[in-house]
Amino acid sequence: MPKIIMGIQVMHRNEDAVQVQKLLTEYGCFIKTRLGLHNATDDRTFCSDAGLIIIEFITDADKEVREVIDKFTKLGSIIVRTMEF
């Protein structure tokens, strides 16, 4: 039973956030840990349009991982990578 970690790079957060959130909610019962990262300055003068989401899936979610990879890839500006441990 491998531990699957997924990185999702969202290149256009402002345009894709709703669709990304919808997919994360759809597969939420298979997600154990989720961390979202993007660049922003403390003085609020800059907030990056790109972001990175790191997800740890529950064990035995191989089928769901394949499904979510397929769905994220179809969004176009999303890059998905996985690691197995």
Please, is 66 exposed, middle or buried when counting C-beta atoms within 10 Å of its C-beta (0-12, 13-18, 19+)?
Answer: exposed
**Where residue 24 sits, what CATH number does that domain have?**
3.30.70.1150
Q: Are the CB atoms for 10 and 82 separated by under 8 Å?
A: no
Half-sphere exposure of 4 (CA within 13 A, CB side): 20
* Overall domain count for the chain: 1
Q: From CA 82, how far away is CA 32, in angstroms rounded?
A: 15
The pLDDT, as a whole number, for residue 39 is 83
Q: Which of 10, 29, 28 is nearest to 73 (CA)?
A: 10
Domain containing 40 equals 4-84
Neighbours of 44 (CB within 10 A): 7
Q: What is the pLDDT of residues 63-84, one digit of tens each?
A: 999 999 999 999 888 999 999 9
Q: What is the pLDDT of residues 37-62, one digit of tens each?
A: 988 878 888 888 889 999 999 999 99
